[in-house]
Chains A and B, each alone.
Chain A
Amino acid sequence: MVRKLTAIPELCSGCRMCELTCAIEHFGVANPKKSAVHVLVAYPHPVVRLPIVCSQCLTPLCADACPVGALRRNERLVELETMQCISCMKCVEACPFGAMYAHSDLDYPIKCDLCGGAPRCVQTCPKGALRFIPEQSLGEAKRLNNILSYTHMKEIEFTEKGEPRTIRYAEIGKEEL
């Protein structure tokens, strides 16, 4: 099964545990700036907290931008061959999501490697805002929100064994008919 690393901005609290964990995992240092995931916060208008993660694109623009072919797609991962890298950082600028990062201490760009198939950022996120999910599940939340936007929730109150209870149900599109 192919899994994708993805972020759910509605759940992110901006605590940056993902950044710190990624840096420790890959560089052995407590430095949230040396991370392949960064939480961008835009506030107050609109309120968004979003961890920017690599999508391991099938047609990676980072690799296209690399003049020496140091970035290559291998199975489901876009990998950086550091021996070939000339440190021009063109890939960092080429990523349409800004999901590659440069740091002045490092000779190479910081490239997400999915931690060999078990991303540490996903494990450490206390809010479940980072997910490593089957590709076909991508967009599921959007789909759900979309159908819910068509619904009108109705409530029925009734009594069961003397206890008042309510049941909610969706009445779809009736008002337009």
Chain B
Amino acid sequence: MSLRSGYFKKALQVDLSTGQCQVRTLADEFLERYIGGRGFGAKLLWDHLVARDFRVDPLGPDNLLVIAPGPLTGTYLPSSGKCSFVSVSPQTGIYGDSSIGGSLGIELRQAGWDLLTIEGRAAELSILWIDDDQATLLPMPELAGKTSLEAEGLIKERLGTHEVRVAVIGPAGENGVRFACVNTDWSRNAGRLGMGTVMGAKNLKAIVVRGSGDLPVHDLKGLMAEAEVAFKYMRQHKYFKMWQREGLMMVVDYASVAGILPTHNFKDGSFPRVGQINGETMLNSYKIGDSACFACPMSCGNICLVKQGRYVGTVTEGPEYESCAMLGSNLGVDDYAVVLHANQLCDELGMDSITTGSLVGAVIEGYEMGVISLADLDDQPISWGDDAAVVALIHRIARREGIGATLADGAPGVLRRWPGMEKLLVQVKGLEQSAYDSRAASSMALAYATSDIGAHHARAWTIAKEVELGENWTDQERVDEVIYHQSLRPLFDMLGVCRLPWIELGLNEEHYAHFYSAVTGRSVSLPDLLAQSDAIFQLTRLINNRLGMTRRDDSLPHKVQACPIQTGPTAGKVIDPQHFERLLDLYYQQRGWDAAGNPPPEVEQQHCGSSP
């Protein structure tokens, strides 16, 4: 059955160089096949790259930025507030995407757009103001150097309304820090892979949206009936209340107990003073409010305030688990107020907190090991838990001052200056590893190595299952689990919804087939959707191969395969390189790829047509 609803069939195409905003009609075949969000982004980026013979400078005007919610975004179902940013990543040089919460995607759809594409480069620092069907480029050079939250406030003041959604970059994005993020609704971020850097390189400080239209839904009653079942399931889940209270902060204790909490730049797997930076500490002494993305009952966001001490007055949403681990235990920081302050700095300056924490951790260890000298550090020594030095270093990265200029270029920049840092940087394909230590779980190592965007847990998060099952898991099961995650997870980004109800509360993924069918009138089964979803993972793999990635890049960081975890319950664990190669062979085989990791020619043929 074909599409009956769910889309506006319209894309807004903005060329910042000429200031032109054009409407592009979207064909049914494109909408059906690529669904939305990450799917739209991957296909449009593929077409864009094919047309340019895969020669695009991530920081040049020729790079394409796609911003796309999905057909479910903003509709009546759990956690429908997601929107994808897709571009060639300035951090990794390959396909990159990042998902943002809050209400940005809903507003974009209410303005009548299924997606937004941005090319070119504005002559001076500007904002893109989308007011329903009107799009205007407004120069605002006065926003230069303003932090994300400050800029959001100034833009609202300048436009004379608070009832708009703003996606904004901080000074890091303007300064070309390779891992700059995009901030919306005061503190929801498209955090990873430098989507803010792309905006900065285009002289685009912010995208401001106001929309008023109805969201197209084929069968609203049917959708609500299905959604009520899902909402009810979530409300009755034994961890639901705990989610509202702590959100992802509850993972801190779990990770430390399981021995997978990055500590001292992944030297250790658990942190003895974890009790000072965990969810309980946050609840008892810092939390002042809850925060949720659109239509989400879980409200994983925590608004926290430092009420005393050196960082008194720091107020921010967060940190969630990743930020807390990477800016906390990973740096030996045992004071939640410091974590909160560092997190706020990353938000305000507009930098990915995972990469920032990972790089700062590597610098501390590099200095400890003598790879980085005191002169390299601009005569400002740094050590584990040294909060003043950590905070100062974060500022210097954003402003590209001294050593900050090297760190701002991410892992490649660090390796160019200090080749010896190769042993200390924990990254794959140029993206720093998320806050789950893969040495405790070979399936997680495989997941990081084969991820299309680098070492990000968003593609496959199999560590909890492997920790639970231990060694009683065959290689085949490990590979199958990784592939299942990689196949299913694009679907959430394509539909424009959050995956947490599924991964954290176990909401049955079958619901999403029903949601999609009710919204679009195109009746599909979950296996149908999974096939479409997996095709996107294969497509982004293909993009990467064309951009020069090979089997060599599906590798593990030195630490993961050569340096056992030093302390904690997983002490001694390390990934055996030979075992990893066996897993990788099996993975390629299962995927139907050749031994060099190339998908078969059919994958490319599938995506030649169906252009919008």
Contacts and interface: CB of A to CB of B under 8 A. Distances in A.
A14 B220 contact: no
Contacts of A11: 290
A31 B214 contact: yes
Given A13-B291, A15-B294, A103 B212 contact: yes
Given A30-B74, A105-B212, A14 B292 contact: yes
Interface string B273-310: 00000000000000011111111111101010100000
A16 B101 CA distance: 13
A32 interface: yes
B295 A16 contact: yes
A24 B292 CA distance: 20
A107 interface: no
A30 B217 contact: yes
B290 A13 contact: yes
Contacts of A49: 289, 291
Interface string B200-238: 000000000001111101001000100000010001000
Contact of B303 (A29, A32, A47): A47
Contacts of A43: 149, 186-187
Contact of B214 (A14, A16, A29): A29
A151 B290 CA distance: 26
Interface string A70-100: 0000000000000000000000000000000
A127 B297 CA distance: 7
A41 B185 contact: yes
B299 A126 contact: yes
A15 B299 contact: yes
Residue picked from B74, B289, B296, B305, most chain A C-beta under 10 Å: B289
Given A15-B293, A32-B106, A126-B235, A44 B76 contact: no
A31 B149 contact: no
A31 B213 contact: yes
Contacts of B235: 126
A15 B243 CA distance: 15
B149 A44 contact: yes
B571 interface: no
A137 interface: no
Contacts of A32: 74, 106, 110
A28 B220 contact: yes
A42 B76 CA distance: 25
Contacts of A15: 292-297, 299
B315 A44 contact: yes
A61 interface: no
A17 B212 contact: no
A33 interface: yes
A57 interface: no
B377 to A, nearest CB: 32
A96 B297 CA distance: 30
B289 A47 contact: yes
A13 B295 contact: no
A12 B214 CA distance: 24
Contacts of A17: 295, 297
Nearest to A46: B315
Contacts of B244: 13, 126-127
Contacts of B533: none
A40 interface: yes
A10 interface: yes
Contacts of A159: none
Contacts of A40: 162
A13 B110 contact: no
Nearest to A10: B289
Contact of A30 (B75, B288, B290): B75
Nearest to B317: A43
Contacts of A28: 220
Contacts of B290: 11-13, 127
Given A30-B215, A33-B212, A126-B297, A44 B289 contact: no
Interface string B378-419: 000000000000000000000000000000000000000000
A41 B301 CA distance: 14
Given A15-B299, A41-B186, A126-B299, A30 B292 contact: no
Interface in B173-214: 185-187, 211-214
Nearest to B294: A16
A95 to B, nearest CB: 16
A75 to B, nearest CB: 30
B212 A47 contact: no
B316 interface: yes
Interface in A6-60: 10-17, 20-21, 24, 28-34, 40-45, 47, 49
Count chain A CB atoms within 10 A of each CB in B75, B292, B293 and give the residue with the most. Answer: B292
Most buried by B among A32, A41, A126: A126
A104 interface: yes
Contacts of A20: 74, 76, 295
Contacts of A105: 212-214
7 contacts: A14-B185, A16-B294, A28-B220, A30-B217, A31-B212, A32-B74, A47-B303
Please name the 8 residue pairs, one residue from A and one from B, whose CB atoms are nearest each other, closest first: A126-B297, A13-B299, A15-B292, A13-B292, A13-B290, A30-B215, A29-B214, A31-B214
Given A15-B296, A29-B217, A33-B211, 9 more contacts: A11-B290, A13-B291, A14-B291, A30-B75, A31-B215, A45-B315, A47-B288, A126-B244, A126-B296
